[in-house]
Structure formats: C-alpha cells, structure tokens
Amino acid sequence: LIFAASQSFIGVNYGTIADNLPPPASTANLLKSTSIGKVRLYEPQPDLVAALAGSNISILLGVPNGDVPNLASSPAAASAWAAANIPTTVPVSAISVGNELLNSGDPTLAPQLLPAMQNLLAALPAGSTTKISTVHSMAVLSSSDPPSSGAFHADLAGSLDPVLDFLKQNGAPFMINPYPYFAYASDTRPETLAFCLFQPNPGRVDAGSGLTYTNMFDAQLDAIRAALDAKGYSGVDIVIAETGWPYKGDADEGGATVDNARAYNGNLVAHLKSQVGTPRTPGKSVDTYLFALYDEDLKGGPESERSFGLYRTDLTANYDIGLAAAPGTAAPATVTPVTVQVSSMLVAYRFCLQSLDRMEWTSLI
C-alpha cells in the first residue's frame, strides 16, 4: 500500500450559518495545525483567504446559487465576479458554481448553470489551473443498488448531460455530497450502522459486477462511477464535496452520537490515507471534504443539523479523528506519496452509501 506523507486530498467544509465563529486568523491557525490540505468555502470569504496566505492550503471556492443567474447573464458579469472574488494569494483548486442546484427546487436555475460555468471559465486568468464545476446531491442518481447499476435520473439529462460534457472537455471533476448518516437514520439495524461506519461486517456482493463491498462510502463512489462510465465519462474524476456525521441529535436521532461521528470520520480518514481505493477503482484516492469545520448554530431543523462540527468554536476538537499535523509540518498543497507498510486492518474499510438528497435513503445494497 501507499501511505501519503501528506494527505492533500483530505479537506474540510467551512460553513458560515453561525454567529459565533472564531476570527479568521484563529481559524487559519487551526487549519495549519492539521493535515487538512483543502478548504471548501460556500461563498467568497476574503478575510479567511487573506489569513490562509502562505499556508499551502488550497481553496474550493463556491458560487452561491443566488449568484448563478448573474454569472449566466453575460461574460462581463462573470469577469466582474472573478475579479472581485477569486484570490491571488491562495491556490484555488476549483470553483463550484452552485451547490445541489439541480435539486434545489428552483427550476429556473437549471438552464442557467451551464452558461454560468462557461462564462466563469472564460473569465479565468490566462494559464489558470482552476477547474470549474458544480456540486450535486445524491438525488441526481436514479439507481445505486447495486453500485454497478448506478445511473442518473433521465429527467435531468437536459441539464446534466451538457454539464458532464463541459467537465469532460475541461478536465474538471464531478462533485457530489453523500451522507451515510441519513442512510442509517432510515434503517437503524446494527448491520447497517456497521456498514456505514466502516466497521467489521460480512460485506455485500454486487451481483452485477461480482465485487464485494464492506463499506457504504466505496459503494457510493462506485455507483457514481458506474453512472458516469455508462454515459461515456470514464475520464471524469469524482470529488466528494461534503460528507460527515453529526455527534449530537434530538431524542429521535439515535445515530447522532460522538462515538458514531468519531467512528465514521476517523475511519474515513484512515481509509483515504490508505489509498486502497474502491472495489471498482482500486488504488485511486478521491478528494474528500469533511463536513464541517465548526457547528453552524443558526441552522434550522433537527439538532443534528447544528452538530456536524469537527471543532468547537473555542478551537478545541469535539473528538479526535487523526487530523493533527506532524510536528514541524504544515498542510501541503500536493500529495507526496511515500511507500510504507500499512497494517492490513486499514484495508478492512470499504462502504457507505446514502441516497437521495441529504435527507433520504434509498435501499442501497
């Protein structure tokens, strides 16, 4: 196995629906004390970006859904947005035009997605390596059980297919948000929990491919991979733009515990570090952004929605998942693989599939 000395493919989401977030400089120092190499911003955050200058932490920069019509309106509007919001002091690996836009409930946004992406691509400085993409919910899949049957909803083809063509032509990744927690919330059997948490379980055989899955994360990835391959996009990489597990919930949210959150996120990090890949794509790591750096105390809904933070706003960890940087090191911009013997126990992790939207679970596997 290959163990990366620095895991730049492990990122974190920085949500801002809160009124108690630490100062940007404090957040930057926290990030620099970890092995996190990437931060996803849902909208431009100039103060935090300024604080990250020189850290080698890259940014996945988000365009809010509400800004998409403006970017789609004209190349000039996209150029103005790019000039105002794309930083020059911190590397920007990609820009996500919208978040779960095709399943946002606003049908007026879908036809504006591709023009916005095209205009923003044209607005990038000459020689830029920043990729332009968009983030999807799992609701774009009509089938994921078994993973080899992965397919996109046919009624999204008019909006999704041109976007997939754009990604292929420009070497940009397909970004998606799977949440195994919501799968377990709809099926609270012990075997389902073990499957979602990368814990020992008998495994599940995909009759279509003959591959065996032992964790939901791998099955989710491979269902997405199968959907892309079926439409001729085998060269388009996948990025997990959000995934996580809440450490606290309401009385009827039994799965939202510190132990489960530690198990999911910690085992996921170990799985990613092992670079074992998935049954369909062995040995291939995937950029994954954990949700989230802090709790967002102004979110509505159940208690779990406000309890995904890896860290408290006093900068202490809610639980340890092995993200501390080695002494004297900083979060890297690139992966430097180093061959190391890794215990076979790390390979015991493999499978975690959620479903439609962040709130539903289709009978996956």
Looking at residue 198, what is its pLDDT?
A: 98
The answer, yes or no, to whether residue 359 has pLDDT greater than 70, is no
Q: How many residues make up the chain in this entry?
A: 365
Alpha-carbon gap, residue 1 to 284, rounded angstroms? 11
Answer yes or no: 242 catalytic: yes
pLDDT tens-place string over residues 252-267: 999 999 999 999 999 9
Lowest mean pLDDT among 2-11, 178-187, 265-274: 2-11
CA nearest neighbour of 7 among 290, 318, 285: 285
> Whole-model pTM?
0.88
Beta bridge partners of 4: 337
Q: What percent of the chain clears pLDDT 70, i.e. is strictly above it?
A: 87
The answer, yes or no, to whether residue 335 has pLDDT greater than 50, is no
Looking at residue 327, what is its pLDDT?
A: 65
The answer, yes or no, to whether residue 3 has pLDDT greater than 50, is no
Answer yes or no: 296 catalytic: no
The phi, psi pair for 306, rounded to 5°, reads -105, 15
**Domains assigned to the chain:** 10-311 (3.20.20.80)
Which of 191, 242, 305, 360 is an active site residue?
242
The answer, yes or no, to whether residue 241 has pLDDT greater than 60, is yes
Tell me the torsion sign for CA atoms 145, 150, 154, 158: positive
Which of 43, 100, 253, 303 is an active site residue?
100
- Which runs of E-coded beta strand occur in the chain? 2-4, 10-14, 38-41, 58-63, 92-99, 131-137, 141-143, 151-152, 174-177, 204-205, 212-213, 238-243, 288-290, 337-339
The answer, yes or no, to whether residue 326 has pLDDT greater than 80, is no
- pLDDT band at residue 331, thresholds of 50, 70 and 90? very low
Which residues make Cβ contacts (< 8 Å) with residue 126, sequence separation at least 6? none
Looking at residue 8, what is its pLDDT?
A: 59
The answer, yes or no, to whether residue 230 has pLDDT greater than 90, is yes
SS (H, E, C) 143-181: ECCCHHHCEECHHHHHHHHHHHHHHHHHCCCEEEECCHH
The answer, yes or no, to whether residue 34 has pLDDT greater than 70, is yes
